[in-house]
Every structure is written in C-alpha cells, then in structure tokens.
A and B are shown apart, each in its own frame.
Chain A
Amino acid sequence: MASKLSLRRQVTLLAVALVILTVTSLLAVSLWKTISSHNQQISQRIIGAENVLIEYLKAKEKLLLTASKVLTADFGFKQAVASRDKGTIASVLENHGSRINASLMMLSDLNGQIVSTNNSKHTLDSALAENLNTIKLNLHKTQLILLDDHLYQLIVLPVNAPRTIAYSVIGFQIDQSFVNELKRLMAVEVSFFYHEALIITTLQDVSDNQSEHFNKMDNSWLLFKRKLYENKKVAFTNANDYIAQLSVDLSPSYVALDKLVSITLLISFFIVIITAFASGIIAKNLTKPLQQLTLLSNDFAQGKYQHNDKMSDGSAEVSHVYESFIKMGRKIQARECKINYQAKHDSLTNVYNRSTFIDMLSKHLASHNSASLLVMAINLRNFKRINDSLGSDIGDLTLKSVAQRIKDIYQKEMLMIGRFSGDEFFLAINLANSECYQDIIENFLMHLKTPMQVNKLWLNLNFRIGGCIFPEQSRNAKELVRRTTIALDAARNESKTIRVYQNGEDEAYLERLNLLEDLRAVLAANTGELFMVYQPKLSLDSGKIEKAESLIRWVKPDGQFISPELFIHLAEQSGLIIKLTHWVIDTVLRQQQEWRANNVILKVAINISAQDITHVDFIDYIFEKMSTYNIDPSLITLEITERDIMTNEDLVVSRLTQLKQTGIQISVDDYGIGQSSLGKLKQLPIDELKIDKAFILELDKSEKDQYIVQSTIELSHQLGLSVVAEGVENKASLDRLKAMKCNHAQGYFISRPIKSAELLTWLKTYE
C-alpha cells in the first residue's frame, strides 16, 4: 500500500503526521500539566478555605462563649432567672446579645421550656423545645442547629445558682450575610447542609435539586464531562448531621482552559497547513527531478541517448544521479552499438553477416531503384583443406585476407560485402553497364586469384564465383541473394569457376523444394504414389531369370511421372534418402515374401547410397526386415556405386564387410565410368560388378567397348567376382556378352522394369 503512494504524498504525510504527533503530545502534556496544577491549586484553595472557615467559626464560637459566660455568671441575671423576673431576664438577654450582635438570645428552663427570648417567634414553638432538650445534652458546646428553618451557630450554657436553674442559649444565625462574609474571606463558595438538604449557600442560582447542583457536569467538551464544582465537605465533630460544603466554581478555569486548547489547536492547524504546504514544495523539488529521471530512462529504453550532460535544476544529489544516468546511457549506447555491430557483422572478417547483407541490400534497392547491380557469391575452394593442413589460425587469417582482398578489388564500385558461411563471401557492386558483367567477374576473379601471403606463407587460392544481375535477373534483395547462391551451386555442380544465374533456375530450384516436400508427405502417407518396379536379370550361364533389380518409381495422382534421378538426388541432398531406402527395403522384402508364396524365388538388388550404408540404423533395419518377412540374406543384393563407396571408404567398407559376412551380396553399380580403381577392386568386400550401360548399349558395334567389357569380365572372373551387364538392348549384344562369359545381362532386350504382377506373368511367358 505504502509503496503505491507517491513520494510526494509520503513526504507530505510524514511531515504532517510528525507535526500532528508533536502538537498532540505537547498539547496533551501541557493540558495534563495545566489540569494537574489547576487541580492542585483548587485543592490548596479548598484547604485554605477550610482553615478559614474553621477559624471563622471558632472566632465566632469564642465570641459566643465569652458572651455566654459573662451572661451566665452575672449574679443579677441569676437572681432574675431564679426569681423568674421576665422583664429583667429579657433586658439582660438583650443587653448581652447586643454586645456581640448575637441574633439569638434565649433562656430556657431545665425542661427546655423557653423562659425568655429575643425572638418572639420561638416562644411557643414546641419543636424548639425539643431541640433545646437535645441541645442540653451538649452543654458548653458550640453547635450548629437548625431552628425554624434557620441555621444557627449557638452555644448553650447553664445558669448555675449554683446548681443549674436554666440554660442560656446564644447564637449567631448563619444567614446570607454570614455566608457571604465567609465567601469573602475564603474566596470559595460555601454552603451548609443538614441531612444533605441545603440550608443556605452563597451560590446564586441554586435551584430545586439543591445537592444535585454541586454535582452538575459541564459537557462543553463532547466526550469528556467535567465537574462544574470542586466540592469539599467539612464535617463537625459531634455534629455529623451538619455539613459545610466548600465549592469552587470551576467554570472560569474551564473557560481559560478551553481558550488555551482552542488557541493551541488553531496554531496547530496553521502549522499543519504550513507544513503540508512546505513539505509539498520540498517533495515536489524532490520528485520533479525523479520525473525527469523517469523520462530519461524512458528515452534510454527507446534508444535515445542524446541528452544534456548537466541537469538544469535540482539538488546536488539528484544532479549526481542524473550524471550517473547520463554516463550509464553513454555506456549502454556504446555497448548497444557494439552488440549491434556484432549482430550485423561477421566477427572474424568484420563484414556483414547474411541477414544484414540482405537487409542492407534491400534498403539500397529501395533507395536506388534504377542503378544496375552485380551480386557475386564467392566460394573459397578447398578451404577445409587449408584449415586441416595449416591450422585454423591460418585458416582464419586466410579468410581475413580474402575479405580484405575482396574489398580492395572494386573499391569504387563496391556497395557491400558479406560473409555467409565459412568459405562463402557475398559482394554487391555497382554496375555501370549491365552488359559487361561477365568481364567484370572475370577481371575480379583474376585479381582475386593472385597469390596471397598469409603469415609468411604464399597461398594460391582457387575460387568459384556465382553472379546475378539487378535488376534484370531479380528486383528483390532476398531473391538476388538466393539466385546468386543458385548460380554458385550451379558452378560447383558444373565444375565451373564462374557461373552467372540463368533465368528459370530459381523456379526449378523452388520446384525441387516443393517436390521434396511432396516426397516427404508421400513417404509418410504411403498412398501408392511410390512403387517399385523390377527389371529381370538373365543368367547367361543357365538362360534363366534368377535375379532382378528393384527400381523406385513415383507417379503422382495426376499421372505426372517424377524422374527417380531427380527425387532420389533431392532425397540424398535433404537426408530424406534414409527414409526412402527404408521404405524401399521394406517394400522389396515384402514383395519377395509374396513371390515366395507364389513359388517365385528371385534375388533382388536394392540400390543404396553412401548415406544409407553409413547410417547407424541401416544394418539393424535390414536384418529386422529380413526376419520380419523371413527372407534369406542370399536373396538380397545391395548395389552401391563406386563413388559412394569412396565417399567414406573406411566406414563403408567395414559395413559392407559386415553385410557380406551375413550372406548378403554386394554389387558395385555403374562400374567403369567413375573413378574406377583396380587397386580398390581387390580390397572391396564385393561379390559382383555391374558394368555400366555406357559400355553395353552399343557393344555390338563398338570394338573398344568389346575390349573393355571383355577385359573387365575376365578381370572380374579372375578376382572371383560375378559380372552383370546392364543396358542390353539387342540380341547381338546379348550374344556377345554370352560369348564373353558374362554372368548376367539386364536390359530392355530382356525386359524393361515392370511391376510385380507384370513380372510374374512375364516370367511365365519367358520361360
């Protein structure tokens, strides 16, 4: 949650919270201190007031006592009392009363009956008599008493003559002036209670609920109720019914306190506002650079690295961060350039890689639509050999030197150079005249071929060059590159050093690619588009058909016949040949199983490529299929060309040896047209030679062919090999072969390759 708040808000909140905390605690402490000192003050006031009250009452008491003693000790008074001389008694009472300004002067007999009083109201009051009887129990004691709803402080002394003959009662009424005087002295309110009922008070506005009044609460503070009065009850010894209550009116101090609180709150409020404002400004100063930094990093993300070195404003720290950002941006930029460069260039020769070359070319074509271009693919021939013989360091140096040389030759016209693979460079040059490209290429090659010094070695390098012209041969960069590649491939296939793209080659190439896809699909689906045909081999010794060569055919559903040479070549190039050969082996072996069911036993030759024989699964697969279809190994002949044997001679020979040992026969196909080596012939684990049809087709007419075939047959027989002649197309040739003691003959004269069913029929008629 907190992390989602903006920094600015956090700073503001923090500052405001701190201020509020400070103010609150200060306010709380000052309130607490104020209130407690106030309370202390109040309690001290009350203590003082209580002392004053007691002293005042004591003073009054002393006065009463003195007056009373003087009165009761007066002999004349005693005499008057003893003789019940009412007139004298009244005058004496009045005389003494006026001396101390007493409000009550009474004389009561021993039974509490009033003999004389200065207040005529009391004379017949029976309640008063009762009161006086109780008073008598507390002789010599000053006391508070309620008479006729008026409170008196009075003292009762006996009139002794010498035994008690009457009681004198002298008292002060605790009236309004009395309490007001008390209030003046004590500076607190005072009230007197009898049995918790209010008798008199200095408070002005005490209404009906008298004792309630002192417990009233102030609720101007909504939550807290406060006492309106601080009360202290003062009890008197032996007069528990009477209570003097001292009350301090707290409302003035509440007003002062409230004022203090409200002023503090007001000031706090202003401080909070100022703080919020100020912290807002500070936070803004802090966050504005952050926003700038955010913009900066966004720019970096978008690859914009050009910014001012210094920040226009902001604190030192932020400027520091800004500078770091700028530095970081620079470094990122440098690294990015480097990575970009590495991504676009060949790390060894520092020329464009394939994709960059195509990109740049396409950009160039887009901007320079009209100018003619020559794109060349340059292949350094036998680079592998240089690498192998001189080491990869020299190889690398050679590549660098070649790249440099390519750059140097047509410096003026050169557009771009790229290295696409180990030994393949691409070059685009401007062409002033599209007609003369052949000369340009030749001239280029001539310069390129001149001996090159690499690390103190002089190397004579050979190249092949494929070329393609813009805009005549293609207007598209990708296509240009592809067609140049096709031209280079064609040069390689045709063993030419220079080959220019010829119109239509690309389409054929694409067609071949499509064909390959179709073949892949057909193999997977096994829909019958692919099928095997068999060409019988006539045994010249026995005149019987003992063998046949299996040949694959592909007829598309629309009837289009696909040349086996074409699709097998494609399959070999793409590696699909492994699957194709597996399919062939499976089909042929199954066919043999079927034939055996029809009592036809034929040895079948299967053509395999070098890729097949070197594949790890080949031998396992063929054995698995032999056991699946229960085919004897002697019924299987594998035909492989000399060229394929030579491709990976050691491995092929070891595999062939292995196969031969199991009883499978090995036949060398197309013998005589390749790099036929007699030396090899004696080493190879083979059973049969198959003389290429080039020598057989016109055997009857060509004496040379007859010599070759004759000697080959003889040589083979000497080496213990059986010989097959293929391409027998007439009887004369067949007769000659028979004469030459050739073992088997194969050709259209005997039968063209036919399907299995046809073959079975053919076999019956032939026999």
Chain B
Amino acid sequence: MGILIENMTKKLLKLEFMKTCLLNTIGFLITFLMLFGQARAEQFLLQDQHGVPIKNAVLEFSISSTPPSGAASPNTLIMDQVNKRFKPDVLVIHQGDFVSFPNSDNIRHHVYSFSQVKPFELKLYSGKPKAPLQFENAGVSVLGCNIHDAMVGYIYIASSTQVLMTNEHGMATLDNSIKFDHVSVWHSNLSSALTSPKQISYENLVKNANNATLFIINVDLNSPEPPNTFQSIFKNNGQ
C-alpha cells in the first residue's frame, strides 16, 4: 500500500512537471496534454469553507465494480513518534493491516487509543519496539500519548481498496479507470463527528468549470481545538 502511495506520489510529481511544461509551452501542446491527462486520471481538490486547500484529508471511494485485485495480504505500516509528534499525522491503512509504533524519540511515550475500532495502549520506550498491532475493523483510530497531551495522531482504516489522502495542496489523484459510486471524505477537523466521514455520491461531485478532470470538494472544518488556555471572566484586580 505504501508503494502504491509512492507511485501515486511519483505520478503527481510527474504531473507537476508536466504542468510546468504546460505553463512553459503554448497552443497545441496545452490541449493535447490536457486531453491526455484527462484520459489518465481524475483529480480531487479539497477546500474548506474558506477556500483553503485541506491536506491530510482522506478520500475513500466505494467501488461498485469488483475490486481489480483479490484480497491483498495485510501490510505493516509505521506510525512513528518523532519530536513528540506522531509521524505521519494521518496514517491511512486498509482493513486488516498492521501498524508498527516505533519510538524515534529518546523519551518515553505512552500511546493509547480509546477509539472503538481498536482500543489499545502501548508503553513505548526508545529502542524497544513493540509488536505491530493489527487493525481489523474499518474506522478512525485517534491516537494520543498519555504523557504528552498535545500529541494527536490518526489512523484511518479503510474498508475500500481505493483510498487517497490529499497532499499539502489539498490535491488527490485517482486513476481514471476506477469507477466509484460515492466518496467518503474524512478529516480530523471535520465538523461532523470525528469518526463519521462525509459521504458524497459521484453524481453530486462538482467538477471544475475549466478542468473536466478536477473535482472540487468543499468541506466544513472546525477550527483546531484551542490550546488548553484559561481565561477568567473576572476582571483583574485593580483594573
């Protein structure tokens, strides 16, 4: 699955390069390449209510046709802890995949999750890896560290084979060949409940007027939870 993502990333990079070419050349080339691009992939742009691209959003496509490949063997993915942060912030896995929690920090972490999909807690010490955990159920697992309250991480366990995560430009690209009925959009700050993604049917997807291959999905996001600051309603003494 990670390879897939790597491939996708490469493709995206190539696309970027081609876009640059498009910008540098004129006329025919533009039309051709765009037609060619359309034939190859469909692009999704996620924006929040302010029009800001959303990164680390997960798009899970429900596929009406039979999956192209059979039940793939479970992968083991890594949710590392680096500098008191989960890395990556959002890890997308498929149902049944394993997730390994190495500790790259030289301090202790006490990773836990109370999410329904997989409640667990791991006391991680640097250099003493624990066995990877298998996530059998689809859903979202919110990871925290009991020692460091500010650490939040997410593992998206997808039931579908086709699942994408937006890059830092809010973009995700799906192979054109894949047909889907609807798409589930999830993000950690989605205004609806944390574990329930937003379902959008194919028909309701809105295409960009200029670019037939670009779907723009608008999602309402909550502002990030405020830091744990305290504000008194009582006037300061002497004011």
Footprint of B on A, CB under 8 Å? 51, 54-55, 57-58, 61, 65, 69, 73, 75, 78-79, 82-83, 110, 139-144, 157-158, 160-165, 236-239
A61 to B232, CA, bound (A): 8
Does the CB pair A163–B142 fall under 8 Å? yes
Q: Which residues of A contact B114 (CB under 8 A)?
A: 78-79, 82-83, 161, 165
Does the CB pair B235–A162 fall under 8 Å? no
Q: Closest chain A residue to B194 by CB distance?
A: A163
Does the CB pair B231–A141 fall under 8 Å? yes
Q: Which residues of A contact B235 (CB under 8 A)?
A: 54, 236-237
Does the CB pair A54–B225 fall under 8 Å? no
Does the CB pair B144–A162 fall under 8 Å? yes
Measured between C-beta atoms, what is the minimum distance from B236 to chain A in Å? Answer: 8
In chain B between 174 and 208, which residues have their CB closer than 8 angstroms to a CB of chain A? 188, 193-194
In chain B between 210 and 232, which residues have their CB closer than 8 angstroms to a CB of chain A? 225-226, 228-232
Extra pairs beyond A58-B234, A160-B225, A162-B151 (15, CB < 8 Å): A54-B234, A55-B237, A65-B230, A79-B114, A82-B114, A140-B230, A140-B231, A141-B233, A142-B232, A161-B142, A161-B144, A162-B144, A162-B150, A163-B142, A163-B152
A684 to B146, CA, bound (A): 180
In chain B between 6 and 29, which residues have their CB closer than 8 angstroms to a CB of chain A? none
A79 to B115, CA, bound (A): 10
Q: Which residues of A contact B144 (CB under 8 A)?
A: 160-163
What are some 30 contacts across the A-B interface (CB < 8 A)?
A57-B234, A58-B234, A58-B237, A65-B230, A75-B112, A78-B114, A79-B112, A82-B119, A140-B229, A140-B230, A141-B231, A141-B232, A141-B233, A142-B232, A142-B233, A144-B233, A160-B144, A160-B225, A160-B228, A161-B114, A161-B142, A162-B143, A162-B149, A163-B142, A163-B144, A163-B188, A164-B225, A236-B233, A236-B235, A237-B234
Q: Which residues of B contact A237 (CB under 8 A)?
A: 232-235
Q: Which residues of B contact A158 (CB under 8 A)?
A: 225
Does the CB pair A83–B119 fall under 8 Å? yes
Closest 4 CB pairs of A and B: A82-B114, A162-B144, A162-B152, A236-B233
Q: Closest chain B residue to A110 by CB distance?
A: B193
Q: Assuming the A-B contacts A51-B238, A163-B152, A165-B114, are A140 and B232 also in contact, with contact meaning beta carbons closer than 8 angstroms in the complex?
A: no
Q: Closest chain A residue to B231 by CB distance?
A: A141
B145 CB–A CB distance under 8 Å: yes
Q: Which residues of A contact B152 (CB under 8 A)?
A: 162-163
Across the A-B interface, how many residue pairs have beta carbons closer than 8 Å? Answer: 76
Which of A51, A58, A161 sits near B232, CB closer than 8 Å?
A: A58
A532 to B179, CA, bound (A): 185
Q: Closest chain A residue to B195 by CB distance?
A: A163
A83 to B112, CA, bound (A): 13
A78 to B146, CA, bound (A): 10
Measured between C-beta atoms, what is the minimum distance from A234 to chain B in Å? Answer: 8
A140 to B226, CA, bound (A): 9
A78 to B143, CA, bound (A): 13
In chain B between 134 and 175, which residues have their CB closer than 8 angstroms to a CB of chain A? 142-146, 149-152
Could you say which of B143, B145, B225, B234 has the most chain A C-beta atoms within 10 Å of its C-beta? B234
Q: Which residues of B contact A238 (CB under 8 A)?
A: 233
Q: Which residues of B contact A65 (CB under 8 A)?
A: 230
A58 to B231, CA, bound (A): 11
Q: Which residues of B contact A51 (CB under 8 A)?
A: 237-238
Which of A139, A141, A142, A162 sits near B142, CB closer than 8 Å?
A: A162
Q: Closest chain B residue to A52 by CB distance?
A: B237
Could you say which of B145, B150, B188, B235 has the most chain A C-beta atoms within 10 Å of its C-beta? B235
Q: Which residues of B contact A157 (CB under 8 A)?
A: 228
Measured between C-beta atoms, what is the minimum distance from A81 to chain B in Å? Answer: 8
Q: Which residues of B contact A69 (CB under 8 A)?
A: 228
A141 to B229, CA, bound (A): 9
A515 to B98, CA, bound (A): 183
A75 to B110, CA, bound (A): 11
Q: Which residues of B contact A79 (CB under 8 A)?
A: 112, 114
Measured between C-beta atoms, what is the minimum distance from B235 to chain A in Å? Answer: 6
Q: Assuming the A-B contacts A82-B119, A140-B228, A165-B114, are A160 and B234 also in contact, with contact meaning beta carbons closer than 8 angstroms in the complex?
A: no
